[in-house]
Structure 1
């Protein structure tokens, strides 16, 4: 959480703040948000959003290697980051789902560690939904609509997967919780 404390200091300077937000699963989403403090208020820029898709037909070792490689690309091409945030996860729908998500979690942590990062903040899924969409039981479509509203995304902007819009939502939830931005009504 040390980076979070430094985050407040950084917001008072002209230097943009970069956030890496992660929606971790065997099809993880990655979002890079940059916040600039302007006299008119903070401006959020969606710098990068991506996801990778793996299949249960592949051995876990292949899936995890691909996920680690994707995380490494984002870290290498879009860092440095001031804050790394992810959605909190404790249990999947069954034992196998839990195992594979924790495997993806571990290889992303491995990639983060190679670049000197760790996850600074974890946010509960219901909190992300409430912060971005207005209710803790929001659907995937409602979360994406909240992301679009907060970022004022153009109608022709497309998220390839729910994992991408969820990753952005996690980053926005962090910004809302830290009172760096206010959700748009």
Structure 2
């Protein structure tokens, strides 16, 4: 399973690709899509769409994981983030990727052990888990953390399904 994790943003969109083979998770690539702030907001959304499409084409993920929306005190920032997330979700749907969404607190709890971990802590733990030489930029580290969360959730679900006892087949009554 190859997972594309995405930390949406209208200025800086983090992405990270991980490969899960059995119980092992390996780093494939990561990066940040920095959009040109001189253009219009619509131009930024087009840039995000185009460049995310290039990442999908290059790395061919089978699954995607996106940070779910959280509420902000700044309504304008929250609306812009919502637009960027919409572009991301549309691009993922058009690529026919199986997509899951995870709240930020769950991602932080899964990776760093506590839901209130700061960006630096997340980056350090992601760097250690994936054996990266240097910590990635915070947006890419968050995207890798989201992909790691998805790998862990799928791994847990797979192990749970494998440990469940087989259900006996139901007998059907002969009804005339």
Shared topology, TM-score over 0.5? yes
* Post-superposition offset of 1:87: 1.0
**Match status 1:18 vs 2:2:** yes
Gap regions ≥5 residues in structure 1: 1-16, 181-185
Using the alignment, how far apart are the partners of 1:93 and 1:73 within structure 2?
33
Match of residue 43, structure 1, among 14, 20, 24: 24
Match of residue 153, structure 1, among 116, 123, 132: 132
| TM-score, with length taken from structure 2 | 0.80
What is the aligned partner in structure 2 of residue 172 from structure 1?
A: 148
What is the aligned partner in structure 2 of residue 5 from structure 1?
A: none
What is the aligned partner in structure 2 of residue 112 from structure 1?
A: 92
Using the alignment, how far apart are the partners of 1:116 and 1:178 within structure 2?
18
| TM-score, with length taken from structure 1 | 0.76
Query: What is the aligned residue count?
Result: 155
Using the alignment, how far apart are the partners of 2:151 and 2:70 within structure 1?
23
Instruction: Tell me, yes or no, if the aligned pair for 1:109 and 1:118 is still in contact at 8 Å.
Output: no
Pair member with larger Rg: 2
Gap regions ≥5 residues in structure 2: 157-176
Q: SS of the counterpart of 1:45?
A: strand
* Post-superposition offset of 1:50: 1.2
**Match status 1:133 vs 2:112:** yes
* Post-superposition offset of 1:31: 0.9
Q: Which runs of 4+ in 1 moved over 6 A?
A: none
* Post-superposition offset of 1:55: 5.4
